[in-house]
Structure 1
């Protein structure tokens, strides 16, 4: 499991560098990846939020959301400075916040689906039931002590 955390941290650094480059380059130097600027913002913040959630599994998800949202607001504030050849746009922040909502909604949906599958699993031979998938253990969003790669199946 540790390798995934390290890969996510590396990917997060790369993604932040690429996003910062595209956010602060002069506006006349070409566009982003999509024809619609808001799609660029949505996809970028969807990716960095997902990477941050994997890279820092013990950090509460609302904290990750606040940090990523603050990063988006900071980008827009810097773009609004007169010596930066960019325009500040509140709609960009809205697209970024929608991305946060989309990935958080996806995580909640996966958690609910996993909990439902665990509840449907009965009997001593059910190998899909783990501490991560049992909602009665009150582990938020499926994170448990398996960070070190321990086997935590319920027996």
Structure 2
């Protein structure tokens, strides 16, 4: 378990990262900063990071709740990008990349928890 002060700090970092991810996602496409050659990789990096921070910040929260919360956040990004004046394209493939990243991290988390119990 992580100490309570560190856990609180991680929660702050999570929310700042979430806001940064949303800001980058709704920025006009021409101004967007990419971490990788593909925007799907950008989505995966963002959602792996968010999921790890969520798992560390809310250690007792069930994986299902984290998956639903971050899945809804990914959907919010795509719905926002569908607004014409945002000048972005909403893509189902982006949301699927988000969900895949979240589920991967949660599967690893659950495997580690099971291994630690034995």
Normalising by structure 1, report the TM-score: 0.70
> 4+ residue runs of structure 1 moved beyond 4 angstroms?
none
Q: Name the counterpart of 1:129.
A: none
Structure 2 residue aligned with 1:75, among 68, 74, 77?
77
Q: How does 1:1-150 map to 2 (within 5 A)?
A: 1-116=3-118
Q: How far apart, CA to CA, are the structure 2 residues paired with 1:49 and 1:22?
A: 18
Which structure has the larger Rg over C-alpha atoms? 1
RMSD: 1.3
Shift of 1:9: 0.7
Contact 2:81/2:89, CA 8 A, preserved across alignment = yes
Q: How far apart, CA to CA, are the structure 2 residues paired with 1:3 and 1:103?
A: 24
Question: Which has a greater percent of helix?
Answer: 2
Q: How far apart, CA to CA, are the structure 2 residues paired with 1:71 and 1:32?
A: 19
> What CA deviation, in whole Å up to 9, does each residue of 1:46-79 have, x standing for no partner?
1111111222233322111101100000100110
Structure 2: unaligned runs, 5 residues or longer: none
Q: How far apart, CA to CA, are the structure 2 residues paired with 1:78 and 1:99?
A: 20
Greater relative CO, 1 or 2 (CA 8 Å, sep 6+) = 2
